[in-house]
Structure 1
Amino acid sequence: MALTNPYYSYPVYSPVSNLMQETLTVVEPWVQHGMWEAQAISTEHALREAAAITYLIGRGYYPQTAHRIVESWWHRE
């Protein structure tokens, strides 16, 4: 059920389950990976890679599979 928040132009969803915690738990390893990559390579690359990984996770790929797919785009052997 979407609730209107007067401070923002987008809806705030009433949690049936703890969607926020579930989401943050899933993306946290990729945020940490991105932070490491940002120091080693570049912030732009790290953000793009973390976003791509989490997008694939959202599409139903297992997290490790999504990571391997995205890494293969930039680190060809």
Structure 2
Amino acid sequence: MVRDLNPLVDYAIEEGRTVGLRHAIMEVMLISYLMGMGFDYNTAYMTVESWEVNERFPGEYDYRY
């Protein structure tokens, strides 16, 4: 199970550097939830990415500043 999460952890670290830690954590939580529901990593990732508008989820405030 831990091995399955390694790509997600790596992604969160990189994402946190570019869009902010709060957004990266939210994104990883959503991907993890979908993986727990049976989605593979790539499908979960693409699904969550499709929910974003301008690198933000609807209603998400930009906390980087």
TM-score (norm 1): 0.65
Cα distance in 1 for partners of 2:38, 2:22 equals 25
Runs of 4 or more, structure 1, over 2 Å off, are: none
Gaps of 5+ in 2: 55-65
Gaps of 5+ in 1: 1-22
Structure having the higher Rg: 1
Aligned residues: 54
Highest relative contact order (Cα 8 Å, sep 6+), 1 or 2? 2
Query: When you count helix as a share of all residues, which structure comes out higher?
Result: 2
TM-score (norm 2): 0.76
Q: Percentage identity across aligned positions? A: 31
Query: When you count strand as a share of all residues, which structure comes out higher?
Result: 1
CA RMSD of aligned residues (A): 1.3
